[in-house]
Amino acid sequence: MDKLIIEGGVRLKGEVTVSGAKNSALPILAATLLTDAPCEIKGVPNLRDTNSMFKILRALGKVVEFEKGKVSITAGKNTNYIAEYKLVSTMRASFCVLGPLLGKLKKAKVSLPGGCVIGVRPVDLHLKGMRALGADISIDSGYVIAKTKKLRGAYIYLGGVYGSSVLATDNVMMAAVLASGKTVIESAACEPEVVDLAEFLIKMGAKIKGHGTPTIEVEGVKHLQGATHTVISDRIEAGTLILASLITGGDVLIKNVQGKHLGALIDKLNEAGAHLLRTDGALRVKGRSQLKAVNITTLPYPGFPTDMQAQMMSLMTIADGISVITEKIYPDRFMHVAELNRMGAHIQREGPHAIVEGIKSLSGAPVMASDLRASASLVLAGLAAKGKTSISRIYHLERGYEFIQEKLTNLGAKVWREKE
């Protein structure tokens, strides 16, 4: 197992290109289960999570070939409807194979994905949606067993305790495209990744309206065809790279950025006094000597993304003033607080709030990543800190950031790996 070593204090400079969106690629790959025809997905990042999805698709009978961001998927000889625990347990998003399996094969047996360190994320909304479409659902020995003679369109309210659910919206939408009649999903997630999935399904022949709004309408069709699609760029990677430039006082041109997907983040950075220059498909980020502290509350899209909360906290540790960061999506998503405090940060947690008192500089220290976005926050802190930072458990980072070490090195960062 490797750890990441960062020698901080280097201003990042140069150009970097954002990879395709992991959270688009995963459900789009799952959606290929809805057809026996060939599909080609471009812009797929080479990550632990995408490779896990390839394994799941192969186990379900697909032939998957991956080369330089392009995935070709065709039907194999043996079709399977069981997604086993040893595969699903490695990645929560793999649960989204439930919808397409149920829609195409009328049966599915998918392992429950369980919780994770950022808090328990139940699948009740997924099961509620499947039951509304006419599926018989039971849970046995840690597996969700779903079957139906025929899925039928329905009105489904998918609002949860903390708002809409991206993965549940994806799952129900995929099941509904082959159901008979019309399905209306209320309180649907509006994230760009949901829109991207819907656009892929439409290319396959699905009839979908309203994606990108809280009300999605799906008119069922009898079958879907193959399609070619390029996934959108990863807005969370883009946001992380923006903060990397700011936290180091750098000057970085970030390419393949869809600025319209980053509205809430850019608004907060403007409030903090950051200098951001938008160009066609790119964003130039010039760091300033001192940014102002700002308050942040995470909300479903188009609000401030929970997946940028940890990284923004790292930036606020050296901002001028006191910021209050409120987590309304996953109230327990603060595992990075203790690690940032090890680096000299002044952060106090009170329930779903973190109070961050800005200091002049962080100090390098040995820290441990607890989840994907927490690991990114520690990388940002390490880039800004005085001295050397050692980050253990970087396999979390590899789940969601393609070639991140190489990208940072090309911008001048002193980053390398060592064996634990």
Amino acid at 285: V
What is the C-alpha to C-alpha distance for residues 371 and 399, in angstroms, rounded to an integer? 9
Residue at token pair 């990075």: 336
What's CA 102's distance to the chain center, in Å?
A: 24
List phi, psi (to 5°) of 95: -65, -15
List phi, psi (to 5°) of 387: 95, -160
What is the C-alpha to C-alpha distance for residues 408 and 288, in angstroms, rounded to an integer? 19
Tokens of 145: 């067993």
Nearest to 234 by CA among 41, 391, 45, 408: 45
What's CA 165's distance to the chain center, in Å?
A: 12
3-state secondary structure of 267: helix
Most distant pair of Cα atoms in the chain: their distance: 64
What is the C-alpha to C-alpha distance for residues 388 and 9, in angstroms, rounded to an integer? 9
Nearest to 227 by CA among 202, 244, 209, 250: 202
Residue among 39, 96, 116, 190 flagged as catalytic: 116
Tokens of 154: 């329905």
Tokens of 92: 């929560």
Which residues, including other chains, have CB under 8 Å from residue 355's CB and lie 6 or more apart? 322, 323, 324, 325, 347, 348, 349
Residue 382: count of CB within 10 angstroms of its CB: 28
Tokens of 363: 């100090």
Burial class (CB in 10 A: 0-12, 13-18, 19+), 206: buried
| Residue 39 designated active-site | no
What is the C-alpha to C-alpha distance for residues 62 and 50, in angstroms, rounded to an integer? 15
What is the C-alpha to C-alpha distance for residues 373 and 396, in angstroms, rounded to an integer? 8
Tokens of 160: 């949860």
Residue at token pair 């509620």: 128
Give the catalytic positions in this structure: 116
